[in-house]
A and B are shown apart, each in its own frame.
Chain A
Amino acid sequence: MTPSGPRTDTGRDSARRTRLRARVEAAASSYHELPGWEEVAAHAAGLSDRVAVAPSLHTTQPALAMRLEAEGCTVVVPGDEDPAADVADVPVAVVGGELAVVETGSVLVAEHGLADRVVTMLCQRLVQVVPAEVVVDRLEDVAAWLAERSGRASFASLMTGPSRTADIERSLTIGVQGPDEVDVLVLTGTDPVTEEPTP
């Protein structure tokens, strides 16, 4: 891991994130801006002492599990054999997002393998971590991201808040088959390439 300098945050970036926060909260998720992964670990550990980490995030961010363990958590990274059983009773899961969309307050999560998918499907509280650099304005930005990767087998989900239903008398109930709660964490102080915390 190579140390990086502090990122430069423009007023435009800040305004964009303000709009993102409004949309995320309108979708019934919570929104947080954190400087780096250490704070992500502290945030997740504050929610539960058992935390799952999506395998693809664990690959790019191995230090996260160590930091969670340092916070006193038991960390679960589901394996390929029976990933659903691995995470079935884990209350909190952390995944990385590819994009965060201001227009809708959504986070795009790419999760091709089953072990990644079960993390976002089966946990009760989902923590989505997105670098500030990939906060985009419009759904067309998502379309461009998908089009660039077309031709490859993939599974990408634009997630907007916790699962919900209004199937009984149009009465809104949060938390059905998917997560009951969603936290969107925007990393404002981390180089997205090296994932190194700001000094």
Chain B
Amino acid sequence: MSTLRPFEERYATALADPDVRGGLTAFQRGWRDSRDAAIADLEQQEGRSFDELRAELAGIKDGVLADWEHHLDTFTTNARAAGAEVVRVATPGEANALITERMQAAGADLLVKGKSMVSEEIGLNAHLEAAGIPPVETDLGEWILQLAEETPSHLVMPAIHKRRHAVAGLFERVLDRPFPPDDIDRMVKVARTELRERFLASSVGLSGANALIAEGGAIMLVCNEGNNRMSVALPQLHVVTAGIEKLLPTYADAMRQVRLLGRSATGQPITVYTNFLTGPRPGQEQLIVLLDNGRTAMAEDPDVADALRCIRCGACADVCPPYGIVGGHAFGHVYTGAIGLVNTSFHHGIEAAAGPQSLCVSCGACATVCPVDIPLPVQILEVRETVARSESAGSAGRVTRSALRAFQHPGLVDVGLRVAGVVTTPLRRDGVTAVPSALTSRGPLAERIGWRTPPAVPLRPARDTLRPGRLEEPPRLADQPLAGRKVQLFLQCLSDRLAPGIPIAAAKLLRAAGAQVIVPRDQHCCGLPAYDSGEQDTARDMVRQTMAALADGADVVTPASSCLAMLAHDAPHLLRGDTVEVERAQELAGRTYDLISYLASGPGRLPAGSLDDGDRTPVTVHRFCQASNTLGRGEAIEAFLRDVAGAPVVPLPEAGECCGFGGSTSVRNPELSAGILDRKLGCVDRTAASILITDNPGCILHLRGGVHASGRGVEVLHLAEYLVRRLPVAT
């Protein structure tokens, strides 16, 4: 259930508010520094890696789900033995009715509320207001939002989208006294004085639960402010609202969660208060409401069941580039960030989940910081497929589906782009299509292409130039690691037709290293665009087509790391219903490389200095986000440029963050894409480098377009294009 405004409205509101983007960018950067330091400290303390620690906690949570009823029964029995009343409810309606009835029976005329996302999920506040029991939020952020009549935009920092001047103005209006915007201390302290009397006056209190500990029938409740402790301790009736997935078997398991929760949420080793409540205090009643609301259905769906591990730390939002532009009111529903894109459809229906789906750029960053190792990017694409199949996809969905089905036919694509190449010839300038400024400075095209100049559409695709005998033989390197080795070049559909210089440069490099380069004729598209759009049937067909085209057992090298991510990581998942197809996909993945892997550490490994032509112009490197987050590549390109090409590399701040291309995102939500691009180019400016290198064609076209439109003097090059310039001159 939800009373939230339509997605389109929330999206437009967020884009129009400069505070959202400005505040969230600073928040994300600060969080990243704190979290990384805290996790590094933990790894040292425990002598284990983050991956090992989160696998342990994920295993505990999975163990609970494997024997869910047993743990629920154990918790219920132990909590009841300690004097609590435990009630399981299936729906928000049941939960609201039960809680309201009990509070009315307790004679409540005011509720003091600690932070509870489940209460937001069920819309409890509105229900209680209607019943004459006004709830008062006591967490500072939640209280600010209640005064502003807004909902939380983040799981942990609910008011992080509001900046200090907005909070000061709100307090001035509501409390009728001045609040200087820079005196945050004063704003914080006012909560103490304003809320203290409510705590003392209220006969009912409500809290959520960070964990339900079966061993002791205890609630674990963490907070920093101390408000939660008062909400649960002072009133005569304490109501706990919790999802049934919050179970942990033992106190020792709870401590494992504590170690990861604070660090992932706020970068703290532990929150100020970690409370363990077992039953009510003397003279108090305690009602524990355990909510299902779609959780059992999630557990029964193997594609999303792992999302029930979530401990609500909010880390997935803190690294999410689109979240940093539009915040949680647009990017999510009640639950925001990546996890919201997964669980919203189960808690609030597919319609509520549909809108924000188009905002995810599939960069994979969320999965790298999740403390319970939820495969969020894969799960989001599963939900996206459900959305795409539903009516909620709307006309945009139907257009996308038709376009992708047409794209499945290489002949059609070929003819279409050759025609476009001819038509746009008068506008072709230095790799871009120079659309007249009269069209890009105002009007409907301005927001679509004004911020990013479209690429030039060449007259001939790369595959034409790469036909046998057409490409000029490049000079050979002194070392020939690939001498006598056959290499199949997978061009990537995008660069084949829109950036042919990239695969051509890759072919030259491979030949210079001694390879016999083959360009299989039947290759087309790995299926990534279709997979990314939720069109999994089309994606599967394209994967099969690619596997057939590359069936020759030779190495496959692609200048597009996105294709490698698709073939190595996503294809086996897509084909999981057929073990023979999975084996074929894995066999192909085992001999497929992106260019940097092939030349830096694979069969084509080039010796140090072999591409050093003496040019010492500084360069900087954007790390393709999926290469960092999905393929686990670190600073391979930087190291290669330094060691093999002798290039001075200036580190790029936030090098592994998405550039904003995001496949269909930049078409469907150009304002969002422009915002992420702006953040990326701002980082490039800070390096003062005049050459920006990366290795994914989608990023390159996007970055080139942004650089051109903004008038920056930065040259954007694919790694292959940069390296081919450094080949020795033919003699």
Contacts and interface: CB of A to CB of B under 8 A. Distances in A.
A151 B162 CA distance: 44
A146 to B, nearest CB: 5
Contacts of B683: none
Interface centre among A143, A152, A163 (most CB of B within 10 A): A143
- Interface residue range, chain A: 35 or more
A173 B272 CA distance: 13
B55 interface: no
Interface centre among A27, A85, A121, A162 (most CB of B within 10 A): A121
B254 interface: yes
Contacts of B251: 142-144, 146-147, 150
Contacts of B157: 166-167, 170
Contact of A177 (B162, B195, B279, B282): B195
B141 A167 contact: yes
A171 interface: yes
B670 to A, nearest CB: 29
B26 A169 contact: yes
A15 interface: no
Nearest to A173: B188
Interface in B232-281: 233-234, 250-252, 254-255, 258-259, 266, 269-281
A162 B224 CA distance: 9
Contact of B282 (A113, A167, A179): A113
Interface in B140-195: 140-141, 144, 157-160, 162-164, 167, 184-185, 187-189, 191-192, 195
Contacts of A173: 184-185, 188
A151 B234 CA distance: 22
A71 B233 CA distance: 32
A117 B269 CA distance: 24
B30 interface: yes
Contact of B255 (A113, A142, A151, A157): A142
B318 to A, nearest CB: 10
Given A84-B200, A154-B276, A139 B233 contact: no
A42 interface: no
A106 B269 CA distance: 11
Contacts of B254: 143
B614 interface: no
B216 A147 contact: yes
Contact of A168 (B159, B226, B280): B159
B192 A177 contact: yes
Interface string A96-118: 00000001101000001110011
Interface string A50-88: 000000000000000000000000000000000011001
A155 B86 CA distance: 18
B266 A166 contact: yes
A169 B78 contact: no
B271 A143 contact: no
A88 to B, nearest CB: 8
A170 B187 contact: no
B81 interface: yes
Contacts of B275: 155-158
A155 B164 contact: no
B144 A167 contact: yes
A168 B255 CA distance: 28
B233 A117 contact: yes
B306 interface: no
Given A121-B230, A158-B273, A165-B224, A176 B278 contact: no
B164 to A, nearest CB: 5
A114 B188 contact: no
A40 interface: no
B383 interface: no
Interface centre among A146, A153, A171 (most CB of B within 10 A): A153
13 contacts: A84-B234, A121-B226, A139-B255, A147-B250, A153-B281, A154-B278, A156-B275, A157-B274, A163-B272, A164-B224, A167-B140, A168-B188, A171-B164
Given A113-B281, A176-B191, 6 more contacts: A114-B233, A147-B250, A151-B82, A152-B279, A170-B30, A177-B196
Interface of B: 23, 26-27, 30-31, 45, 78, 81-83, 138-141, 144, 157-160, 162-164, 167, 184-185, 187-189, 191-192, 195-196, 200, 215-218, 224-227, 229-230, 233-234, 250-252, 254-255, 258-259, 266, 269-284
Q: Closest 5 A-B residue pairs measured CB to CB?
A: A178-B226, A153-B279, A150-B216, A167-B141, A143-B251
